[in-house]
Amino acid sequence: MSKVAVLGVGAIGSIFGARLCLLERHDVVLCVRESFKKFYIETPSKVVETPVRCVTDPSKVGPVDWILLAVKFHQIRDVMPWLMSIAGPNSIIAVLQNGVEHLENVSPYANGATVLPVVVQCPADRLGPGHVVQNSHASLITLDSEVGRAFAALYDGSDIKVRPTPDFVTEKWLKLCGNIARGPATALTGRGRGVVRDPDVADFCRALVEECAKVGRAEGANLPSDIANKITANQFIAEPDATTSMLVDLRAGKPIEANGLTGAVVRIGARHGIETPINRYVNGLLSAINVKDTNTA
């Protein structure tokens, strides 16, 4: 039996935490601000329902074997007290996070734990504590390593597919290209994914992805030459009002996940001497949304 802590029990943490609870062979604890009684996950084919054990005080949980870290890139400092309590040299932190800087972002706060990057494939919407609508099949991609295969084994017997891959660099940059094709346009306009059907918006999204892919290739990702056209065209089949995580956060008045997405393209591009002006301008605009106006005049 593995002792598992789920840190960040939003849509993604709920979906993948619920499956471990359902297996009943792991000791799973949820690290939360407010307790709730059960997971209720609505999938396209069934409802996943299982009781949970919540803890609100980091001092009440000692080091665990596994941590599912499902907070967003910019929230890592917010969970430092939890990581100082539940992570240790014998722990593994599976980082279920958007972006391509999993190691760089989490390692300084890992408290000696091993950090395992994970790519999440699972569109979902959180309706309330533990209540999530999972919009399609959920899967995870991680490194093909001893630790990566051990992580995959946690989900043996569940409906979650975990695929270790020797080319994790390509997978994480493919995911980032997809995020950048959708999120910024919806956050800047306040509209659903159908906004990309406007030809000028489609051109904007395509330019963001082209820069992202260029930087990804410099990092060693094997990305096709037409990836920007393919990913942008794929957005046309989405429902007009379909959301993105950026749009959901915007509407909820929460900070937008800019620094880990467009910000990463800018930072890593600069390291390779690659100009990324569209991502730089967009990152500035998205970051400005996160700055609250304190003027009272």
CATH topology of domain 168-289: N-(1-d-carboxylethyl)-l-norvaline Dehydrogenase; domain 2 (1.10.1040)
List % helix, strand, coil for the chain (3-state, nearest 5).
45, 20, 35
- pTM score, two decimals? 0.94
CATH 3.40.50.720 residue ranges of the chain are 3-165
- Residue 48, phi then psi, degrees to nearest 5: -100, 120
What's the N-to-C CA distance of the chain in angstroms?
A: 59
Place of tokens 């999204």: 205
Residue in 3, 60, 175, 230 annotated catalytic: 175
Strands 114-121 and 139-143: antiparallel
CATH 1.10.1040.10 residue ranges of the chain are 168-289
Please name every residue paired with 134 in a beta bridge, in sequence order, or none if there are none: 124
Q: Give the separation between CA 277 and CA 286, rounded to whole angstroms.
A: 14
pLDDT given at position 292? 66
Domain 3-165 -> CATH class: alpha beta
Mean pLDDT by 10 residues, the chain (297 residues): 94 96 95 96 93 95 96 94 96 97 96 97 91 92 97 96 97 97 95 91 96 98 95 83 90 93 98 98 95 52
- Residue 175 annotated as catalytic: yes
Closest by CA to 134, choosing from 118, 120, 148, is 120
pLDDT given at position 143? 96
pLDDT in tens, 25-37: 999 999 999 999 9
